[in-house]
């Protein structure tokens, strides 16, 4: 019997201000707790990736985005050694309304602005890959498959 392949689809959002990206420190009982990451989350049913990015940033940070300000960066089909494969759509935003704050303290312990070429340790590989695509101007990657 053949089983259908199902891979989670995520959005990862680079929030840029003055040449720095906003990172969140994951907390609680979630994958990667204690690691730094860019704001991210899974898309929900009946939601496209841009709408998901707008929703996730509002839920996590309390800032509002206009869909037209969400710029595509790239897609990664990642296969981490200790987790299921994932497809991540990366986006960049440099305009928003509000000031980023921690809205989900059970999932986020801290916020940090950092240059994309000077990320703190440890930073989630999934986040690092979207940042790498952004810095190199690449549109697609598939880490862990080769």
Q: Cα dihedral sign for 103, 36, 115, 51?
A: negative
Q: Are 34 and 26 in contact (CB under 8 A)?
A: yes
The span from the CA of 45 to the CA of 68, in Å, is 21
Tell me the domains of the chain and their CATH numbers.
9-141 (3.90.79.10)
- pLDDT digit string, tens, across residues 92-101: 999 999 999 9
Q: What is the pTM of this model?
A: 0.94
The span from the CA of 50 to the CA of 12, in Å, is 10
What is residue 82's predicted lDDT score, i.e. its pLDDT?
A: 79
The span from the CA of 71 to the CA of 94, in Å, is 9
- Note the maximum CA span of the chain: 54
What is residue 70's predicted lDDT score, i.e. its pLDDT?
A: 98
- pLDDT digit string, tens, across residues 30-43: 989 999 999 999 99
State CA 76 to chain mean position distance: 11
What is residue 1's predicted lDDT score, i.e. its pLDDT?
A: 65
pLDDT of 137 over the 70 cut: yes
The span from the CA of 55 to the CA of 61, in Å, is 10
């Amino acid at each position: 019997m053949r089983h259908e392949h199902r891979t989670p689809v995520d959005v990862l959002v680079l929030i840029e201000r003055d040449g720095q990206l906003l990172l969140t420190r994951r907390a609680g009982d979630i994958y990667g707790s204690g690691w730094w990451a860019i704001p991210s989350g899974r898309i929900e049913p009946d939601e496209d990736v841009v709408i998901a990015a707008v929703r996730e940033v509002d839920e996590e940070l309390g800032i509002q985005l206009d869909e037209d300000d969400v710029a595509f960066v790239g897609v990664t089909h990642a296969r981490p050694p200790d987790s299921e494969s994932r497809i991540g759509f990366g986006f960049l935003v440099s305009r928003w309304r509000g000031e980023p704050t921690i809205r989900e303290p059970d999932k986020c312990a801290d916020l940090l602005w950092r240059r994309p070429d000077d990320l703190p340790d440890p930073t989630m590989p999934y986040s690092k890959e979207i940042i790498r695509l952004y810095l190199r101007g690449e549109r697609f990657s598939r880490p862990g498959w080769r």
